[in-house]
Structure 1
Amino acid sequence: MAVDISNILFWVVFTLVGVISFSFMIHKISYNRKKKILPPGEMGFPLIGETMEFLNAQRKNQLFEEFVQPRILKHGKVFKTRLMGSPTVVVNGAEANRFFLSNEFKLVESSWPSSSVHLMGMDCIMQKQGERHRIIRGLIGTSLGYAGLEVLVPKICNSVQLHLAKNCRGQESISLYRLTKSLTFSIVFECLLGVNVEPGMLETFERVLEGVFAPAIMFPGSKFFRSKKARQQIEKMLVKGEISEQEVIDNVVLLVFAAHDTTSFSIAMTFKMLAKHPDCYTTLLQEHADIISNKRSGDNLTLEDIKKMKYTWQVARESMRLFPPIFGSFRKAIADIDYEGFTIPKGWKVLWTTYGTHYNAEYFKDPLSFNPSRFEEEIPPYVFVPFGGGPRVCAGYQLAKLNILIFVHYIVTQYDWSLHYPDETITMDPLPFPSQGMPIKISSKFI
């Protein structure tokens, strides 16, 4: 019987096509199952993305209201965008804070603009990862442990009182924000580091800070250029003051950056809230009157006295909740991250925000109202995050707390004061500050 070759070839080809098609279909199904599902959101224009909207909202201190919240309403608590040239996922909520801040070095790492890295220094703690970060942080933590704080309290008391006597006695009006900036600067150097503050040092440091979020363009006249030059001057000042190791210099610069504007802003917002809520001020004033009633005239505060300032710390924390000194911070994914059913690709940025919990009724009832008593109850972890969290939680947290409480004590017990502009607006450049420097009328109680 004759074999029909053409018929055989037809069935061979037909079978091969079927096998290939079936294999392709199986592969496609498997691929789709493994396919990365990115968070919802809009990437904006090429390269710049939504950077302009982000910066405009940040400059007006309306980052949450004008940028984050509208996108949460549209896309949910996790959304993608493009900021400063990088694809970025913005996350909100206590669980998001816990997940990303506690997974530092495992899934994410700190991510700062190149200008910040150049100005703070490659050897500062914000650039260290893993074990080296742990070692440096441990050294900082040792100086701010219980024994270190006991030594610091009388030093800070003396510094605050001298500063107030020099700048407030005989004055009718002062800039509270400017006063606290120069004071916190002096405390870092003189009380913590034992380095005398030289004339012009504060102004030089502030020129460094001006460029930490500016484009890293070394062009004469640019913000970064001026800041870089100021950084070189700072190195000469610190070496002259017998601080010579590069790692130490870099961490001193970072410490001033971390403590200087943030603590000053927190103090300013505490007084803003006290001025707006006289009933709270009355309660706070009584707390401090009770403390000095058990002390002899001229005695400094002790660490035990600081522990008694429970209501004052509630007021300060509620002020920081409403006016966080930082809006959040960026991390970079060092591996593909599966989160909330989405994939955040390796190399993408992650932005967590303080506002994601601070302004959320899920965590704080009636979140836009000022209510210090809410801090009588224990706040769950990763809900109140003005100092960050996880391995990179602010190492200077206890120093900031001392600065705030001691400053409040000496102002309210030794001076009468009132705000010139109770509704003074807050702006940012790059960190938040009262737009007019928060001028206050002030007079000594002992004149």
Structure 2
Amino acid sequence: MAAFIFSLLPPFIIIIIIILYKTYNQPKKSKPPSGQMGLPWIGETIGFYRAQRRNQLYNDFFQPRIRKHGKVFKTRLMGSPTVVVNGASANKFFMSNEFKLVISSWPTSSVELMGKNSIMEKQGESHRCLRGIIASTLTPSGLQEMVPRMCDSIQKHLQKNWNHQDEISLHRSTKMVTFTIVLECLFGIRIEPELMFPVFEKVLEGVLAAPVNFPGTKFWRAKKARGEIEKVLVDEVRRKREAMESGREEEEEESRMLLSMLVAALIRGEITEEEAVDNVVLLVFAAHDTTSYAISMTFKMLNNHPNCHFRLMEEHEEIARTKKPGESLSIEDVKKMEYTWQVARETMRLFPPIFGSFRKATTDIEFEGFTIPRGWKVLWTAYGTHYDEEYFPDPMRFDPSRFADPVQAYSFIPFGGGPRLCAGYQLAKLNILVFVHYVVTQYNWSLIYPQEPIVMDPLPFPSKGMPIKISPRSHN
């Protein structure tokens, strides 16, 4: 009967029915996320950079697009179609699928200056090999040995640069001390920090600049400074290699530092000299600049929240009472700084040292009903998760108690996650806690500009250098 009725229908109606049937029964095709691609090639890069310089990436760039398009949206940045992803589930998906669906994708200028042979650019087995070497110095026993060295470096810095002063630039001071700690305590490299620090700073100025290697440009100046650093580090690597191959004995502690580990791998043929040098350069930058910003902002939050400062002081004074004059902290002392680490984590939630990181899709990716085409960039952002009420209610309020208990996985990502979780995470944690301890137990301090603006060029920093008034604490 159905066939008979169907045969009586006009041909054009039959054609329409067939088209509708096929359309309805075809598998649903995924679509790209919504968003604006902006101008050809340039896309929305200008707006992105303007917001970045004002340290308003979240308010002026990410948040308006999240409101309009959702947590996953498309744009075009620095010539590449890009999908910006936000939220714990997106962070987990893309970070845990490193090397499978996505690979690290940094701007050309960053790669040129940090090093093509650094862990930042390595994939697969090469990445695992280098990461294993770095991790071997940051084991529990390695960290235990590092604490006294770090205490010594910090106290020497404070005695030299803080004593007999009534005002100092906190941010510059923290950059100098973390720079020294990375070179001396992690690598075992003895270089005058006052001489090398300004050269490293010139390199940093160019890491997100246009890769135009023409005299007078930021990138040209950064490349020139990078060449100076490379000469010094090549000499250090070769000196260390010659000593190790000639059988000259190192001190046991020195043999467990990262430079010795890298050179040992070089002698075994596991890495090249270029890989050893590039990874020293990368880790100095990755550790010292982000850590110094985290320390500076921690002091800003303590200054602006006296109740938190009082509770933190109690924690450190109790630890100080157990130490003899001149006695260094131990790893067990650091473990007692639980509230201080809550304060530091809440600070890094509100003021992440990096806004996020770029990846590149190595295949078409299906995610939450969207398709991200092969070759597109993926940008995960710290702001888009740290400021999300789903994970942190009343997100703009400073509340260290958020971290009294574990937070949802991949909702707190100042150090990234997955296979590319910051290799120096534990070093940064030690640096923050030990530095805070010696400052709050030895000095009275206060910010001169409590509401000092934060700007970015290319990483965030206090616009005035965060000057503070200081005076020695009385220990009667």
SS at match of 2:168: strand
SS at match of 2:426: helix
Summarize deviations over 1:304-362 as a string: whole Å, max 9, x none.
00000000000000100110001111100000000111100000000111111111111
Pick aligned residue for 1:131 from 102, 105, 125: 125
Matched, 1:403 2:431: yes
Give, in angstroms, the shift of residue 265 of structure 1.
0.4
Summarize deviations over 1:248-283 as a string: whole Å, max 9, x none.
110011001111210010000000000001111110
Matched, 1:95 2:123: no
Q: Which residue of 2 aligns with 1:204?
A: 199
Give, in angstroms, the shift of residue 441 of structure 1.
0.3
Number of positions where the alignment pairs a residue of Structure 1 with one of Structure 2: 428
The change in CA–CA distance for 1:34 and 1:407 in structure 2 (over 3 A counts) is same
Letter in 2 for 1:140: I
Matched, 1:303 2:298: no
Q: Which residue of 2 aligns with 1:229?
A: 224
Q: In angstroms, what is the RMSD of aligned CA positions?
A: 1.9
In 2, Cα distance between the equivalents of 1:141 and 1:32? 50
Q: Which residue of 2 aligns with 1:278?
A: 306
Give, in angstroms, the shift of residue 293 of structure 1.
1.2
In 2, Cα distance between the equivalents of 1:85 and 1:156? 43
In 1, Cα distance between the equivalents of 2:208 and 2:25? 41
In 1, Cα distance between the equivalents of 2:334 and 2:324? 16
Q: Which residue of 1 aligns with 2:111?
A: 117
In 2, Cα distance between the equivalents of 1:28 and 1:61? 51
Q: Which residue of 1 aligns with 2:36?
A: 42
Q: Which residue of 2 aligns with 1:341?
A: 369
8 Å contact from structure 2 (residues 30, 369) kept in 1? no
Give, in angstroms, the shift of residue 220 of structure 1.
0.8
Letter in 1 for 2:50: N
Give, in angstroms, the shift of residue 191 of structure 1.
1.2
Summarize deviations over 1:49-70 as a string: whole Å, max 9, x none.
1111111111111111111111
Structure 2 counterparts to residues 163-182 of structure 1, below 5 A: 163-182=157-176
Pick aligned residue for 1:156 from 147, 150, 170: 150
Q: Which residue of 2 aligns with 1:82?
A: 76
SS at match of 1:195: coil
In 1, Cα distance between the equivalents of 2:214 and 2:22? 52
In 1, Cα distance between the equivalents of 2:175 and 2:297? 13
Summarize deviations over 1:408-428 as a string: whole Å, max 9, x none.
000000000000000000000
In 1, Cα distance between the equivalents of 2:227 and 2:455? 29
Pick aligned residue for 1:249 from 277, 282, 286: 277
Give, in angstroms, the shift of residue 200 of structure 1.
2.1
Letter in 2 for 1:185: F
Letter in 1 for 2:207: V
Summarize deviations over 1:25-62 as a string: whole Å, max 9, x none.
59984997464411000101111011111111111111
Structure 2 counterparts to residues 311-390 of structure 1, below 5 A: 311-390=339-418
Summarize deviations over 1:365-410 as a string: whole Å, max 9, x none.
1110111111111111100100000000000000000110000000
Letter in 2 for 1:175: S
SS at match of 1:325: coil
The change in CA–CA distance for 1:69 and 1:297 in structure 2 (over 3 A counts) is same
SS at match of 2:276: helix
Pick aligned residue for 2:211 from 210, 216, 222: 216
In 2, Cα distance between the equivalents of 1:409 and 1:86? 45
In 2, Cα distance between the equivalents of 1:31 and 1:117? 48
Matched, 1:191 2:219: no
TM-score (norm 1): 0.93
SS at match of 1:294: coil
Q: Which residue of 2 aligns with 1:394?
A: 422
Q: Which residue of 2 aligns with 1:143?
A: 137
8 Å contact from structure 2 (residues 237, 277) kept in 1? no
Letter in 2 for 1:237: V
In 1, Cα distance between the equivalents of 2:25 and 2:325? 77
In 2, Cα distance between the equivalents of 1:347 and 1:26? 34
Letter in 2 for 1:82: R
TM-score (norm 2): 0.87
SS at match of 1:143: coil
In 2, Cα distance between the equivalents of 1:272 and 1:31? 60
Matched, 1:435 2:463: yes
In 2, Cα distance between the equivalents of 1:82 and 1:222? 25
In 1, Cα distance between the equivalents of 2:206 and 2:69? 33
Give, in angstroms, the shift of residue 131 of structure 1.
1.2
In 1, Cα distance between the equivalents of 2:184 and 2:169? 22
In 1, Cα distance between the equivalents of 2:182 and 2:26? 56
Larger Rg computed on CA atoms:
1
In 2, Cα distance between the equivalents of 1:326 and 1:283? 28
The change in CA–CA distance for 1:113 and 1:27 in structure 2 (over 3 A counts) is farther
Q: Which residue of 2 aligns with 1:108?
A: 102
Letter in 2 for 1:225: W
SS at match of 2:120: helix
Give, in angstroms, the shift of residue 239 of structure 1.
2.0
In 2, Cα distance between the equivalents of 1:36 and 1:214? 36
Matched, 1:422 2:450: yes
In 1, Cα distance between the equivalents of 2:397 and 2:186? 36
Q: Identity of aligned pairs, percent? A: 63
Q: Which residue of 2 aligns with 1:240?
A: 235
